[in-house]
């Protein structure tokens, strides 16, 4: 009697082109120049990075461009202990939501150059860019974030952005 089939492996590969759209294209062009560009909502004044071309809260188009620094604050984080084929970084490592100074929504990024168990809410961090000759129109130009020698941001300063 033969063994029952309990699973099969079916390698799948998809290739597709992504149309960035106007707001994301501006953002990605900025990335290729080492700039972080967001957009401010004309109604609620929130700054979105990366911008999507509209404010999800107010439902209006965003056009005012705002250049954001590469410094920010860790709002929340997690410690990753499971390896991934798509990442060269070895676990355990910290991945965090980072609220850039002047922005109103955080985004997810790696924290490096710091023991993973020292990452904390409120920690001040800065972007570490890939070498200039490697820059493309990609968010990947920012390799990761590293701690800044600054006091932690008080919880009240980012509690609305968790």
- For Zn ion, the binding residues (CB under 5 A) are 41, 43-44, 55, 57-58
Q: How far is the CB of 43 from Zn ion (least distance, A)?
A: 4
For the CB of residue 28, give the shortest distance to Zn ion in the complex, in Å. Answer: 22
Q: Which is nearer to Zn ion, 52 or 124 (CB)?
A: 52
Least distance from Zn ion to the Cβ atom of residue 40, Å:
9
Query: C-beta of 54: minimal distance to Zn ion in Å?
Result: 9
Helix (H, G, I), strand (E, B) or coil at 34: coil
CB nearer Zn ion, residue 68 or residue 142:
68
Tell me the DSSP string of 12-29: ----------HHHHHHHH
Q: Looking at beta carbons only, is 15 or 160 nearer to Zn ion?
A: 160
Radius of gyration from C-alpha coordinates of the chain:
19
Contact between 112 and 144 under an 8 Å Cβ cutoff? The reply is: yes
State the pairing for strand pair 124-129/71-80: antiparallel
Instruction: Pick the closer one to Zn ion by CB: 56 or 154.
Output: 56
């Amino acid at each position: 009697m033969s063994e029952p089939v309990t699973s099969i492996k079916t390698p799948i590969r998809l290739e597709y082109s992504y149309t960035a759209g106007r707001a994301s294209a501006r953002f990605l062009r900025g990335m290729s120049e080492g700039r972080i560009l967001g957009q401010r909502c004309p109604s609620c004044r929130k700054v979105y990075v990366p911008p999507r071309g509209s404010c999800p809260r107010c439902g209006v188009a965003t056009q005012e461009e705002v250049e954001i620094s590469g410094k920010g604050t860790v709002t929340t984080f997690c410690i990753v202990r499971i390896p991934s084929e798509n990442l060269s970084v070895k676990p355990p490592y910290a991945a965090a939501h980072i609220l850039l100074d002047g922005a109103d929504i955080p985004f997810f990024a790696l924290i490096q150059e710091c023991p993973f168990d020292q990452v904390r809410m409120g920690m001040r961090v800065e972007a570490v860019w890939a070498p200039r000759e490697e820059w493309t129109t990609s968010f990947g130009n920012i390799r990761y974030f590293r701690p800044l020698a600054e006091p932690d941001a008080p919880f009240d300063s980012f509690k609305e952005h968790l």
